[in-house]
Structure 1
Amino acid sequence: MTDQPSRDIRLFGTDEPVQPPRLLRAGPLSAELEAGNLRYIRYGGAEVLRAVSYVVRDRDWGTYNPEITELGIDEDAQGFTVSYRARAADAGQAFAYAARIEGRADGTLVFEASGAAESPFLTNRTGFVILHPIAGVSGAPVTITHTDGREVAGRFPELIDPVQPMMDLRALAHVTPEGHRVTCLMEGDTYEMEDQRNWTDASYKTYVRPLALPWPYELAPGEEVAQRITVSVEGAEIAAATDETVTVTLGPSFGEMPALGMGLDPDDTAAALTVTAPLAAMGAAHLICHHDPRRGHGTETLRAQIDVARALGAEPWLEAVITSVDGFAEEIAALGRMVGALGAPFATVLLSPAPDLKCTLPGSIWPETPDAAEIAAAARAAFEGKRIGGGMFSYFTELNRKRPPIAALDLVSFTTSAMVHAGDDRSVIETLQALPAIAQSAAAIAAPLPFAVGPSAIGMRANPYGAAPKPNPGNIRQAMSFNDPRQRGLLGAAWTLGYIAEFAGGGAEAIALGGPVGPFGAVHVPGDLPTPGYDRAGALYPPYHPLKALARHRGRPLRRVALSDPACVTGLAIDTPTGTELWLANLTAAPVPLALPPGAADMTLLTEAEFAAAAKTPDHFDHTRPATDTLTLGAYGLVRLRGLT
C-alpha cells in the first residue's frame, strides 16, 4: 500500500473521473441527467421510474459508452429541454444518433432519439430501455396496453420471473406507493419486459425489440432508427422527508449466520500460496476449486488448489465442468478416480455441463446437454459419500430458467455479478436491493434443499452472454468487466457487507465471495492487472476485513435490523456470547448521520481515515474505541458495534 492513496483510490480503487449527474426540474417533476440518459425520475421527490435510457449494445451484450457532443440544456421553472448528438463506436463499427428530452411541470416527460449506422452495425439491442423500481412495485397491479391497442390487467412479478412477464407492449401504467399514476408510452418498435432482478438489478426492465427475433441483428448503413418514450405522471405532490438521519433498530433473533467462503481459479494458486498467512487468518469455511478440462485443467491444477485450501484451513469444494454429452458418465467417473488419487478431499461436489455455462435466451433453442438427474447419479457413483450439488456456475438467471432436479441433489447453487447491465457506482450498489427477492426465489426453487451462493463478486468471473468478460486495462468502471477496481476500495467492502447481510437474511446455507487473490481477491499480490495504490504483496483490500471478522460467527443466531433508509445503509446483526454484534455500511458517496441502538460496549470503524492502516493490519477489527449512540459514517464506510443487548 502506498502511503497516501488518493480519495478516489480509497473509495473506488480507481482515479477514473466521473461526471456528476445534472439535476433537471420541471415543477414537481425531476430527473437526473447522466451520460445522456435519465435516472431517478421523481415527482414531488418520490421516485416514479428508475431510469429511461437510450442504449446501444454490441453482439456480446456489452453496452457502448457513447461520445456525446453538442449538448444543450435549457431550464426554467416550468420545464426543461435537453438535446445532444451521440456516437457509439468501437474499432469495427459505429452508430450515431440525435436525442431530445423535454420535461414539463404538468408531469409529462418525452425522450426521443433517431439515428443510423455509419457502416454495417451488429447489435443485440439499439434503442430505449425503461426501468421500473422494485420497492413498493413488486407484486403490484399494472395496466398493459398491447401493440394492437388492447388493454389488460396484470401484475409486476413478486417471485422473480424467469422469462418475460409482459410482452408485445405499447404502454404500461401503474400506481406508485405514494399514489401517483405513472403511464409510460413506448413508440417506434415493439417492447417487452424482463424481470431484471434475475441479474441482481433493482428494477423491472422494459426494452425495445423482442428477444424472440434473431440476434445479433444488423443495421444497414443509413437505416434510420427512430423511437420515442412519453411518461405521464398524475397525482398530488407529496412533501419529501427532510430528516437525513438513518435510524437503526434491532429486532428479534432468526436463522443463523451462514458459512463464508471464497472461490479459487487455478491461475491464482501460485500467487495465493505466497500470502497464506493473512489468507489463513480470514478463517474461510470453504474454498470452491474450479476445474475445466477445456482450459487444460488436470491432476496438477486440482492438487495445487487443494494445497491452497489446506494452507487456508478451508474445506475444499469441487466445481467441475463436464465437457462430454454422450460420454459424460465416463468423464465423471474418470474425474472421480483423479480426485480419489488426491485423497478425495472434496466433501461437496458441484458439476455442470459445459453448454450451461452460456445463456440460452427465451425463445432460443436449448443446446444439447446430458440430463441433469443423470449427471447427479453419475456423480454419486464417482464421489461416493460426498454431498452432490447442482444448479448453475453462472448466474441466478440461468438457474431460474433451467431448474435443477431437486430429488437427485443435496444442494442447489448459483452465482451473481453486480455488473451485468451497468458499471457505475450507484448501479453496483443498487444490486443489493434485488438480493432479498433472489434469496426468496432461490429458496423456492431449491426447497426442501439448502442453497448456496457464489463464488460471486462485483466483477464478472465469466460471461454467459458473450465470449468473455471485458478486459479492463484502463481500470475503469464498465459493465461486464473482469477486473473491477471497486474490489479494492471501500465501496467493495460496503457491497460485501450488504451482500452477506441480504443472503444471510434470505436463508443461504453458504456464501462464497471473491477469491484469495487476483481480480476478485481479498489480499494483494502484484500481477498484470492494474492495482493503483497497492505495491506490496500481502496488502489487504477493504473487503478482507468484514469477511474475516464475520467468518468466525458461522452458525450463530442472526437478529433483524430495521433501517429507516435501507437504500442508504445496510446492516447485519449477530447474537454472540458477549452480546449482539451490529455491522453497518454506508452505501453512498456522502456522509450519513446514524441514530444507533444505545448501550454498545465498543465500536470499530473502517473509513477513509482507517484505510491505509487497515491495508497493513489483518486484525484491524480487533482494535476498538468507545461506542456512541450517534455517528456520521463517511462515504462507503463500515462500523461494527459490539455488546448490544
Structure 2
Amino acid sequence: MARIDFEGDVFETEDQRNWTDASYKTYSTPLALPFPVTMNRGTVIEQNVRFSLAKISQKIFFQSSAKQPVHINLTKQTTPFPAIGLLQSSRYPTLSESECSLLKKLKIDHLRVDLSFVEKSWKEKFSEANLTAKQLNVPLFLSLAFSDHPENDAASFIEICGALSPKIDSVLIVDEGTKVSNSEWFAPARKLFKEKLNNVSVGAGTNAYFAEFNRNKPFPGEADFIAWSVNPQVHAFDYLTLLENLQAQADTVISARTFQPGIPLWVTPVTLKPRFNPVATRTEKPGINYPSPPDPRQMSLFTAGWLVGSLKYLAEAGASKITFFETTGEKGLIQGPENSLWPADFPSLGGMIFPVFFVLNELLRYSQGRVMNTMVSQPDSVSALTLLDGFKNVLVLASHTPKVINVLLPFPVTECSVRILDLPFCRNNMFSRGTLPDLPVQVCRPDKGVLELQPFTVVFVEIPS
C-alpha cells in the first residue's frame, strides 16, 4: 500500500479526464484561490510531499504480454454511427475544384465554422464558410461566441444571414469570455434563432474543453444538444499519451449523459492539437504559429489510426455527432494548393492527401449503420472498431505501434477479405490524378485465426455472415 502526505500549502487534485487525458494532477495553490495567484515580493511558500510504501510480504511481478496476441471481444451492444463533419480550414478560405471533388467523395454531414463577434473579420469568415459549404453541398454548423453585447451580436448575425442565405443546420452559442453558454441570454438567443433560421437546432456547451463546461453547470435546460471539443495534447504530447487519452474521450460522453438524460451529445471539433488556450492569462495574437505550429503527425498513418480509435470510443459511448479535423491545410485532410509553411518540421507539398482522408473515406461507407462495442486486450497497441451496415459488416483494426502485432480475430475464419491502408498505398495515392482509388480488396488467410497487423496500418476485415 502506498501513502502520500502533503504539508505546507493547500493542494488540489485534478481529474484530467475533463481534458480527455488519462491522468491525474496534484498541484497548489487551488485554482479557486484564485487563478492566477498574486505573489508579493518576499512571500515564502513551503511545500512538502512525502511518499511511503508499506512493506509487502511477496514480490510483485510485472508480466509482459508483448508475445501474446491481441484479443478482440465483440459485445452485443450497439450504437448508431455518428454524423461526421469537418472543420472549416484556418489557412485556406475556399476550396479548389479538385479539393472540392475529393471532399465531396466523403459525403460528410456538416461543415463547422467558429465565429467570434469580438473579431472584426467574423462577417468575412462567415461568408467564406458559406461558400465552402455550398461547394460541398452540406449544411453549416456554427459555433457563435458572443461579446458583452449579445443582443447587438444576434441582430447583426440575423441581418447577414438574410444577405448570404446560408443553409444552417445547427448553432452552438457560447460566451467569448468564459467559452461556455451563458444561462442568462441563451434562452432569448435560442428563441430568436429558432424564429429567424427555420427552427435551427441550438445547442449549449463550450467551444473549448469538456472541463470548461463541467465547471459551469447547470447548463441552459432548453438546449437541443450539448457540445464540447477534444484534443489529446492539453498536458503532454508524446505518442503514448495520445493513445492513452483515447479511452478518456468516452468518459466525457458518459459524464455528459448525466447532465440531461436523452439530449444529443456532440463532440466537435476533434483536433490533434489545441486550437487556442481557453485559460490564457494574457491576450494571444493570431498568426501562423498561433497557438502553436501544427503537429507533423497530422500527415502520418499514426493519426489515421488515432482517428479510428477516437471514433471508436466516442461512438461506443453514444456521441451522435463528431467534427474531425479541418478540410485543408496542415491541420486538415488535404494540404491545400500551397506547400507547408513549416517545411522543416511539416514537409508536406501542395495537393498532398493525408492518410486521415483515406481512412475517413473508408469509414464513412458505414455512416448509415451501427457501431458494435468491441473490447481490446491491448488498447494502447491496437484500436478495434466494429461497423455493421446490414450487408457487409467489418472489423477495423488500427495498429498504433512500429512493431508487427498479432491479433486473434473474434470469429472463426480460415479465409477472409481485407482492405489495408498502409504506407505503400498512401505513397502511391498522395496526389490526386483525377480519380481516387478505393482500398483494394485482398484475400487473407489467418493462421489459426491470428491476423498479422503491420506497423501503423489500418485493416478493414470483412466479418463472415
Alignment root-mean-square deviation, CA: 3.0
The question of whether the paired residues in 2 share the 8 Å contact of 1:284 and 1:314 is answered with yes
Amino acid at match of 1:543: V
How far did residue 200 of structure 1 move?
A: 0.7
Give the structure 2 partner of residue 339 of structure 1: 161
User: Distance between the aligned counterparts of 2:157 and 2:357, measured in 1?
Assistant: 33
Deviations 1:566-589 (A, max 9, x none): 232111111124331111112334
How far did residue 593 of structure 1 move?
A: 1.8
- Residue of 429, 435, 439 corresponding to 1:622: 439
Secondary structure, counterpart of 1:635 in structure 2: coil
Call closer, same or farther: CA 1:581–1:411 in 2, change over 3 Å: same
The question of whether the paired residues in 2 share the 8 Å contact of 1:394 and 1:415 is answered with yes
- Residue of 591, 604, 624 corresponding to 2:419: 604
The question of whether the paired residues in 1 share the 8 Å contact of 2:81 and 2:367 is answered with yes
Call closer, same or farther: CA 1:194–1:416 in 2, change over 3 Å: same
Amino acid at match of 1:418: P
Give the structure 1 partner of residue 387 of structure 2: 574
Deviations 1:389-431 (A, max 9, x none): 1211111111111236453221111101211111222112211
User: Distance between the aligned counterparts of 1:539 and 1:569, measured in 2?
Assistant: 27
User: Distance between the aligned counterparts of 2:103 and 2:55, measured in 1?
Assistant: 56
The question of whether the paired residues in 1 share the 8 Å contact of 2:275 and 2:291 is answered with no
- Residue of 454, 458, 465 corresponding to 1:638: 458
Amino acid at match of 1:601: C
Tell me, yes or no, if structure 1 residue 351 matches structure 2 residue 164.
no
- Residue of 322, 332, 342 corresponding to 1:530: 342
Secondary structure, counterpart of 1:449 in structure 2: coil
User: Distance between the aligned counterparts of 1:333 and 1:247, measured in 2?
Assistant: 56
Q: Which runs of 5+ in 1 are unaligned?
A: 1-180, 359-366, 474-478
Secondary structure, counterpart of 2:118 in structure 1: helix
Call closer, same or farther: CA 1:413–1:266 in 2, change over 3 Å: same
The higher radius of gyration belongs to 1
Deviations 1:349-405 (A, max 9, x none): 2222211228xxxxxxxx998533333233334424111112111111111112364
The question of whether the paired residues in 1 share the 8 Å contact of 2:208 and 2:229 is answered with yes
User: Distance between the aligned counterparts of 2:218 and 2:47, measured in 1?
Assistant: 42
- Residue of 492, 507, 516 corresponding to 2:318: 507
Deviations 1:93-122 (A, max 9, x none): xxxxxxxxxxxxxxxxxxxxxxxxxxxxxx
Give the structure 2 partner of residue 411 of structure 1: 225
Give the structure 2 partner of residue 190 of structure 1: 10
Secondary structure, counterpart of 1:632 in structure 2: strand
Call closer, same or farther: CA 1:301–1:480 in 2, change over 3 Å: closer
Secondary structure, counterpart of 1:350 in structure 2: strand
Give the structure 2 partner of residue 232 of structure 1: 53
User: Distance between the aligned counterparts of 1:374 and 1:582, measured in 2?
Assistant: 46
Give the structure 2 partner of residue 585 of structure 1: 398
Deviations 1:8-30 (A, max 9, x none): xxxxxxxxxxxxxxxxxxxxxxx
Amino acid at match of 1:511: I
Amino acid at match of 1:552: R
Tell me which of the two structures has the higher relative contact order, counting C-alpha pairs closer than 8 angstroms and 6 or more residues apart: 2
How far did residue 620 of structure 1 move?
A: 5.4
Call closer, same or farther: CA 1:593–1:627 in 2, change over 3 Å: same
Secondary structure, counterpart of 1:549 in structure 2: helix
- Residue of 125, 145, 155 corresponding to 1:301: 125
How far did residue 202 of structure 1 move?
A: 0.3
The question of whether the paired residues in 2 share the 8 Å contact of 1:460 and 1:469 is answered with no
Secondary structure, counterpart of 1:530 in structure 2: coil
The question of whether the paired residues in 2 share the 8 Å contact of 1:390 and 1:404 is answered with no
Tell me, yes or no, if structure 1 residue 491 matches structure 2 residue 282.
no
The question of whether the paired residues in 2 share the 8 Å contact of 1:391 and 1:403 is answered with no
Moved more, 620-629 or 193-202: 620-629
User: Distance between the aligned counterparts of 1:564 and 1:226, measured in 2?
Assistant: 40
User: Distance between the aligned counterparts of 1:272 and 1:310, measured in 2?
Assistant: 13
Tell me, yes or no, if structure 1 residue 262 matches structure 2 residue 86.
yes
Tell me, yes or no, if structure 1 residue 250 matches structure 2 residue 74.
yes
How far did residue 223 of structure 1 move?
A: 7.3
Secondary structure, counterpart of 1:320 in structure 2: strand
User: Distance between the aligned counterparts of 1:220 and 1:606, measured in 2?
Assistant: 59
Deviations 1:529-565 (A, max 9, x none): 3255755322111211222222232231222212122
Give the structure 1 partner of residue 356 of structure 2: 543
Secondary structure, counterpart of 1:515 in structure 2: strand
Secondary structure, counterpart of 1:407 in structure 2: coil
Tell me, yes or no, if structure 1 residue 277 matches structure 2 residue 101.
yes
Secondary structure, counterpart of 2:154 in structure 1: helix
Query: Superposition pairs for residues 384-403 of structure 1, below 5 Å?
Result: 384-403=198-217
User: Distance between the aligned counterparts of 1:269 and 1:249, measured in 2?
Assistant: 44
Give the structure 1 partner of residue 20 of structure 2: 200
Call closer, same or farther: CA 1:352–1:436 in 2, change over 3 Å: same
Secondary structure, counterpart of 1:261 in structure 2: strand
How far did residue 472 of structure 1 move?
A: 8.5
Q: How many residues end up aligned between the 2 structures?
A: 450
How far did residue 267 of structure 1 move?
A: 4.6
How far did residue 442 of structure 1 move?
A: 1.6
Q: Between Structure 1 and Structure 2, which shows a larger proportion of strand residues?
A: 1
Give the structure 2 partner of residue 460 of structure 1: 274
How far did residue 454 of structure 1 move?
A: 0.9
Moved more, 386-395 or 276-285: 276-285
User: Distance between the aligned counterparts of 2:182 and 2:142, measured in 1?
Assistant: 24
Deviations 1:71-104 (A, max 9, x none): xxxxxxxxxxxxxxxxxxxxxxxxxxxxxxxxxx
Secondary structure, counterpart of 2:387 in structure 1: strand
Call closer, same or farther: CA 1:569–1:331 in 2, change over 3 Å: same
User: Distance between the aligned counterparts of 1:536 and 1:453, measured in 2?
Assistant: 30
Secondary structure, counterpart of 1:579 in structure 2: coil
User: Distance between the aligned counterparts of 1:372 and 1:296, measured in 2?
Assistant: 23
Amino acid at match of 2:439: D
User: Distance between the aligned counterparts of 1:341 and 1:546, measured in 2?
Assistant: 37
How far did residue 224 of structure 1 move?
A: 8.3
Tell me, yes or no, if structure 1 residue 561 matches structure 2 residue 378.
no
User: Distance between the aligned counterparts of 2:101 and 2:285, measured in 1?
Assistant: 31
Tell me, yes or no, if structure 1 residue 442 matches structure 2 residue 259.
no
User: Distance between the aligned counterparts of 1:554 and 1:427, measured in 2?
Assistant: 29
Call closer, same or farther: CA 1:280–1:190 in 2, change over 3 Å: same
User: Distance between the aligned counterparts of 1:428 and 1:390, measured in 2?
Assistant: 27
Deviations 1:440-479 (A, max 9, x none): 0122224221011111211111210214499886xxxxx9
User: Distance between the aligned counterparts of 1:480 and 1:533, measured in 2?
Assistant: 16
